[in-house]
Amino acid sequence: MGVRLMESLATTRPLAELFSDQSVLQAMLDFEIALARAEARLKIIPQSAAEAIASAARAETFDGSALSEAALRAGTPAIPLVKALTERVRAQNPVAAGFVHWGATSQDVTDTALVLLLKKAQPILESDLEWLCQALRRLAEEHTQTAMLGRTLLQPAPPVTFGLKAAGWLAALQRCRKRLRVSFLGSLVVQLGGASGTAAALGEHGIAVGQALASELGLIYPDAPWHTHRDRLAALVCACGVLTASLGKMARDISLLMQHEVGEVAEPSGECRGGSSTMPQKRNPVGCVATLASASRVPGLVATFLSSMVQEHERGVGGGQAEWSTVAAVVQATGLAAASMAEVAEGLTVDAVRMRANIDATRGTIFAERAVMMLAQKIGRNAAHKILEEATRTCSAQGRRLSEVLPEMPEVTKHINPSALRELEAPEAYLGMAREFQRRSLSGTDNTNFTSKIEEKKE
């Protein structure tokens, strides 16, 4: 199955296939197969019934459109699916039909099916994130010494390095990956509570069946059913939200650096990539576009999920029903952003010459802070700041460089050697701890034993 045209900027092919009708149906049927096998293993239902159910539970034999229409009337897709499955089993083995869905409720099916889909989604996201992180690490290491303008409030500021910028993107993504892994692990929990979350229909076998079901599906068995407790899924949705926003930050930076007036980086080009229907010269930041589109959509989806958490008693009215499409959209948008930025980072062109030219275009005014700190040691910071304000105004009015204006100011030359002023505008000499911050970001030292450090402070 390909990506639907309406979702062409909302998902990737692997994730579109994962959340396709047939895949979702099979996940629900896999629950029914595993439940029957678990119950047969515990001798609660006949082995022949489990075999008949497994034989009939093939998604390609079901009418997805008909089930969707019936789900709207039933309030859940599980009810028409169980009915259809029962009829298929009855056609093979009338006795076995009576054991379909034994002891379960509709939400057990839909929740576990969603969890099974998330289990398959995790390696898809992780693969693209690993690709992206490796590409960013290479960029950082290749550009440790590549000076570029720092930009604060979109205005020129003292220089940074592109290596530090790439390392910053990478460090944020690594933190996001850790949160995502933890939240995925926490969400891979089977659901089997029956009508009211007590598994009463299974009698004394409720926990044993749940444990056997979890084992069949490779999921975790929780302390208790979680029908209206959605915190685990919420943690995953929120982790996706933070990750997508971090990817969006990277996309925003790159798209701004790609502007013609800046021209410091460029996304990879290729046939049909980044072009325009009317302007042949265009090289649009299409990977950034897709990522920023995801970053725009996901916060609202996260809010929708958090709102849906307020569910009534043992079975919610509307809250749970809002989740399937919301979670699917969040995961697909996150996956699209990760895959898009991996492709961008892998083929990103960095123009170090243009970066240096843009530094030079400021006529040295970005080094005013450096001059302030040199003067402040002699006359105090406030006085030094006023002198440099005057100097930069002169630079702007006369179109001259800071290193030309300062030697003409007696209040400056009285305290700073002319040779030091001549070297004032060397970017490499005013990078502070950029290299060390880059090294620390790449090594992840700021995250090492973070929890233990907090505990140590408590003690």
Which pair of tokens denotes residue 132?
């992206």
Catalytic residue among 48, 68, 269, 276: 276
Query: String of b and e for 357-382 (b: at least 16 CB within 10 Å)?
Result: ebbeebbbbbbbebbbebbbeeeeee
Distance CA 459, CA 449 (A): 15
- What pLDDT is recorded for position 276? 45
pLDDT band at 335 (very low <50, low <70, confident <90, very high): very high
Region 368-384: mean pLDDT is 96
- What pLDDT is recorded for position 24? 98
- The beta-strand segments (E) located in 281-323 are none
Query: How many C-beta neighbours within 10 Å does residue 220 have?
Result: 14
- For tokens 């398959």, the residue is 120
User: How much is the mean pLDDT over the chain?
Assistant: 94
pLDDT band at 219 (very low <50, low <70, confident <90, very high): very high
Q: Establish whether 276 is a catalytic residue.
A: yes
pLDDT band at 278 (very low <50, low <70, confident <90, very high): low
Q: Establish whether 315 is a catalytic residue.
A: yes
Distance CA 369, CA 353 (A): 24
Catalytic residue among 90, 181, 283, 315: 315
pLDDT at residue 274 tops 60: no
Distance CA 196, CA 181 (A): 31
Domains of the chain in sequence order? 13-104+205-215 (1.10.275.10), 108-189+226-360+431-445 (1.20.200.10), 365-424 (1.10.40.30)
Q: Where are the alpha helices (DSSP H) in 13-151?
A: 13-18, 21-41, 47-56, 64-74, 78-92, 94-97, 106-142
Which pair of tokens denotes residue 301?
């989806």
Among 346, 292, 329, which residue's Cα sits nearest to residue 15? 329
Among 160, 157, 167, which residue's Cα sits nearest to residue 145? 160
- End-to-end CA distance of the chain: give it in Å, rounded: 56
pLDDT band at 2 (very low <50, low <70, confident <90, very high): confident
Region 253-275: mean pLDDT is 85
Task: Give per-residue pLDDT as tens, 311-333.
Answer: 999 999 999 999 999 999 999 99
pTM of structure: 0.93
pLDDT band at 445 (very low <50, low <70, confident <90, very high): low
Distance CA 333, CA 290 (A): 9
Query: How many C-beta neighbours within 10 Å does residue 167 have?
Result: 27
